[in-house]
């Protein structure tokens, strides 16, 4: 589904959609991972291309799997079509590398 979402060009030259989907839990616990993957794939199918996540949310792995599934199903042509923002902790190496692996899907 093609939709128009306004975006801004960052100093890096990358485009960031101005409308995104937050992945933080709104209930005390997250839904099961397969349900989260389905939610994120549905969001990509609906036109979302910006997702906000963090290691502390517990949703990074499901988001990575959803991006992989969206690629496989042809909903997106490449990973660069999806803009993912995350949070940085004080010890970046300790938190960045595991998050990067989880988002690979």
83 vs 7: CA distance, rounded Å: 11
Catalytic machinery residues: 57
Residues above pLDDT 70, as percent of the chain: 88
pTM of the model: 0.81
Q: For residue 41, what is the enclosing H or E element?
A: helix 33-46
Instruction: Compute the average pLDDT of residues 81-92.
Output: 81
Q: State the pLDDT confidence band at 45, using cuts at 50, 70 and 90.
A: very high
Mean pLDDT of the chain: 89
Of residues 50 and 3, more confidently modeled: 50
Place of tokens 């490449």: 78
Place of tokens 């997106």: 76
- Cβ(17)–Cβ(83) below 8 Å: yes
Helix H, strand E, coil C: the string for 53-90 is: CCHHHCCHHHHHHHHHHHHHCCCCCCHHHCEEECCCCC
pLDDT digits (tens, 9 = 90+) for 54-68: 888 999 999 999 999
């Amino acid at each position: 589904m093609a939709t128009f979402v306004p975006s801004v060009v960052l100093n890096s030259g990358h485009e960031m959609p101005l409308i995104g989907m937050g992945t933080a839990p709104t209930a005390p616990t997250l839904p099961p991972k397969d349900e989260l993957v389905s939610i994120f794939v549905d969001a990509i199918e609906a036109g979302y291309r910006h997702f906000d996540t963090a290691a502390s949310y517990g949703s990074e792995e499901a988001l990575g799997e959803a991006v992989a599934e969206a690629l496989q199903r042809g909903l997106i042509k490449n990973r660069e079509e999806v803009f993912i923002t995350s949070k940085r902790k004080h010890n970046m190496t300790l938190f960045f590398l595991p998050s990067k692996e989880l988002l690979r899907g």
